[in-house]
Amino acid sequence: MTKFRLKKGDEVIVVTGKDKGKRGTITKVVTKDSKVLINGINLVTKHVKPTKLNPRGEIKQVEMPIHISNVAFYDGSTNSHSKIGYTFRDGIKIRISKKSQTTVVEDKKWYKNLRIYISPK
């Protein structure tokens, strides 16, 4: 199974395709298909048939997954895309932006809980 460095909540920029240059946040990662669902990116028109609950039917815009190779992590400090790397600080593995060497902000509660179990060496 492939390990992805992009996670839910990361801000990404589309590198190729019809939405090239657009930015958004990842709402879902589909590991089975190596795709990500990005808020407001890759919108497709879907025609919904009439049903008992919706007797008129409708035409609506739906976000579709985009392949993970077509997006890159967006680094706000350099205003461009960057690769994600890992480093250890105080015995904890932290994600960093390789271009600017700044840490990628994660859920702070998770780090506090992790510090309890891992002591620095």
Domains by residue range for the chain, with CATH: 11-49+58-117 (2.30.30.30)
pLDDT: is 94 or 107 the higher one?
Answer: 94
Query: What is the rounded average pLDDT for all residues in the chain?
Result: 86
From 30, 23, 33, select the one nearest 8 (Cα to Cα). Answer: 30
pLDDT at 44: 96
d(CA 14, CA 118) in angstroms, rounded, equals 36
Given pLDDT bands bounded at 50, 70 and 90, which one contains residue 120? very low
53 DSSP 8-state letter: S
d(CA 58, CA 53) in angstroms, rounded, equals 12
pTM of the model: 0.78
pLDDT: is 87 or 3 the higher one?
Answer: 87
- CA geometry: angle 57, 45, 25, nearest 5 deg: 120
